[in-house]
Amino acid sequence: MAEADYDLSKLSDVFEKAAEHLKSIVGKVDTSQLLELYSYYKQATEGPCNIPKPSWYEMQAKQKWQAWQSLGEMSRENAMTKYVELVSEIDPGWTNCEGGGHESGRTGWVAVSCLSNTDEHLDDKDKTIFDWVKEGNAEKVYEFARKSSTDSNIIDSEGMGLIHWAADRGNLDTMKCLIKDLTVDIDLKDGDGQTALHYAASCGHKEIVRFLLDNGANPNLADADGMLPVDVASGSEILEELKAC
């Protein structure tokens, strides 16, 4: 698929559909592909890397930054083409799949924002509440929590709580379940002092940012590096949302 094969309008349409389809095949995507897709998506939607290099200890953020930064001045059109090509490589013929041409009002960097989507496959009986949150299965999250004595504010081995994973993956239903049904601390900090609002703002999940703010998340909590959610915000809409608080 060459860049010249599409006019800009058609290319944008195919790109958005590819971004939407990717949410349904994320389990097929390995870490290196996630990084590549992330970089193309950011380049296509925002242009050349325009954020400061993350602190040395923010490993995932640093990997994402390096991937995006490495594209230099690549055009948005070329980045969209590369993105579509890679989705097609991962899932050949995806445009013929049910939902492959599905329109959505939200085609942001959703379920592939985190680099830990390469977890090995587990049978349902072996999954923890963290696994259900990562998969975005709000029903199973609620069911597991009701049957278990697990603390809803527990932090995992990566220093992240359930609410951080929900914010990172951009799943609004799961976030609603955690806040409204399981009463998770909305301002819970991870190992680097970041809240769910930091994650949602950084990953560009506008709906999650709005939900967190509407439900009392504190936009003035700084992380261990002194950064506020507004300092790591991705995209002008989220930036304006946070500045208005």
pLDDT digits 0-9 by tens, 114-147: 344 444 455 667 788 888 898 889 999 988 877 8
pLDDT band per the 50, 70, 90 thresholds, residue 162? very high
- Quote the CA–CA distance of 228 and 231 in Å, as a whole number: 5
pLDDT digits (tens, 9 = 90+) for 201-218: 888 889 999 999 999 999
> What is the average pLDDT across 97-119?
37
- For the chain, the domains span 3-96, 125-243
Range 3-96: architecture per CATH: Up-down Bundle (1.20)
Give how far Cα 209 sits from Cα of 29, 170, 214, Å: 26, 9, 9
HSE (CB half, 13 Å, CA atoms) of 164? Answer: 20
Say whether domain 125-243 belongs to CATH 1.10.3470.10.
Answer: no
d(CA 93, CA 95): 5
The yes-or-no verdict on residue 20 having pLDDT over 70 is yes
